[in-house]
Amino acid sequence: MTSTSPTGLLRDPGSSNRSTLLELLFDLFYVATFAQLSMHLAGDLSWRGLGQNVILLLAAWWTWAVTSLATDFFDPRRRMIRGVIASTMFGVGLMTAAIPSAFGTHGLLFAGAYVGIHVVRGIVLVTALRGHLAQIRAERFLFWFVVSAALWLTGGLVDPAWRGPLWAGALVIDYVSAALRYPTPRLGRVPLDQYDRLSSHFGERYQQITILVIGDLVLASTLKLGTAEFSTARVVVFLAAITTALLLWQIYVFRTDLFVDRAVNAYPRRAVRLASYINALLVAGVIATTAGVDLVIAHPFGTTRASWVALVVGGPVLFVLGRVIFEYELLGRLSRSRLGWLVLLIGIAPALKPLAPIFVVIVSVGVLLGITLTDAWRGRHDAPAR
């Protein structure tokens, strides 16, 4: 069916919850995005570079999160929604290409692509939904993206020294307005009952993007080893990177089915409103880990910089912490074992600096392995969550 009536654009609760092939193609665009972000981070480990990378990451992530929310509320099989997804791909491609020089010569390209994605989607949906209650929802989203657009575009035009503060302010508007349910003059906020329209499709989308960002760790490590002179140390670091990816995956999928069931049937509002924020931690954690491994493959021995330890240790800490928070919010359980391992890893971090970089990676893998083994023990001994 290709109905373009306002009602026909909404997702049918009885329809398939599987992701469409176009949504999967859309996710693949982020493989390049994640790779660019990890390389950009590895290339500039100054506080300024870190701040810039955080801004770029949050912008890229918000584009994915809002698009994913739209395809859970609207039916991605409909022609118009497919057109929205396809147009977003062009914008994501431009944003990704602009990442290396977003704070240089390509600031306006990055900002223009970001603004274009959200404003064009808003205009299309507001027009298509005319006369339907869902039009008001689209108008709220569009209003706040137009507000933040002023800062995004101004930042792209002014001297790069002012770009960071302006774009950071725009991100505050985007993230905070969403957290407050897009309070809009004369329209009010998005009603809470609209957040109850959650299907297992939503959980599947987040699982897919998380697996893709973990896959970027494998991709980046493979490319780095392939372009470097082979040595035993570099191969060891590469194998440690693959092991890290597998362990992060295992940590992520632990009780995933229970998570999705609880999100859909018990706490849909909480899941929808928290997912984009908490999963940003997971994505940031993998990108930091990837950047750290990239540096260690290039220089497995020699002096270990404090910033390298921060990436190799901080990346897994962010990832596991995000997973702990989500488990607590949806299952009501605080994983003390995981927190204990994180405290251990953070506690020994200062002692890792005198070691060669290769050993920092190995220690990080050891802690992740400890978390995985503890999870296996928990899975056998914990009572099922109710």
Which single residue is written with the structure tokens 């657009």? 149
Report the distance separating Cα 287 and Cα 35, nearest Å: 8
Structure tokens at 154: 């101004």
Report the distance separating Cα 138 and Cα 352, nearest Å: 50
Report the distance separating Cα 74 and Cα 204, nearest Å: 16
Report the distance separating Cα 352 and Cα 318, nearest Å: 18
- Is 123's pLDDT higher than 90? yes
Inside any domain, residue 138: yes
More confident residue, 249 or 272: 249
Q: 240-257 as b/e, with b when 16 or more CB fall inside 10 Å?
A: bbebbbbbbbebbebbee
Which of the listed residues 196, 222, 251 is the one where a domain comes to its end?
196
What integer pLDDT is reported at residue 193 of this predicted model?
82
Which of the listed residues 196, 215, 250 is the one where a domain comes to its end?
196
- Is 296's pLDDT higher than 60? yes
Q: Please indicate, yes or no, whether residues 220 and 182 belong to a single structural domain of this protein.
A: no
Residue 351 parent element (H or E): helix 336-352
- Express each pLDDT in 57-91 by its tens digit: 999 999 999 999 888 888 888 888 999 999 999 99
User: How many folded domains does the chain comprise?
Assistant: 2
pTM: 0.92
Q: Region 315-337: what's the mean pLDDT? A: 89
Q: Region 329-349: what's the mean pLDDT? A: 89
| Percent of the chain scoring above 90 in pLDDT | 70
Q: Please indicate, yes or no, whether residues 172 and 254 belong to a single structural domain of this protein.
A: no
Structure tokens at 135: 């039009």
* Residue 114, domain extent: 6-196
Q: Please indicate, yes or no, whether residues 143 and 170 belong to a single structural domain of this protein.
A: yes
Look at residues 362, 320, 312 and name the one whose alpha carbon lies nearest to residue 341: 320
Of 193-202, 246-255, 308-317, 370-379, minimum mean pLDDT range: 193-202
What integer pLDDT is reported at residue 6 of this predicted model?
62
Which of the listed residues 174, 196, 218 is the one where a domain comes to its end?
196
Q: Please indicate, yes or no, whether residues 236 and 338 belong to a single structural domain of this protein.
A: yes
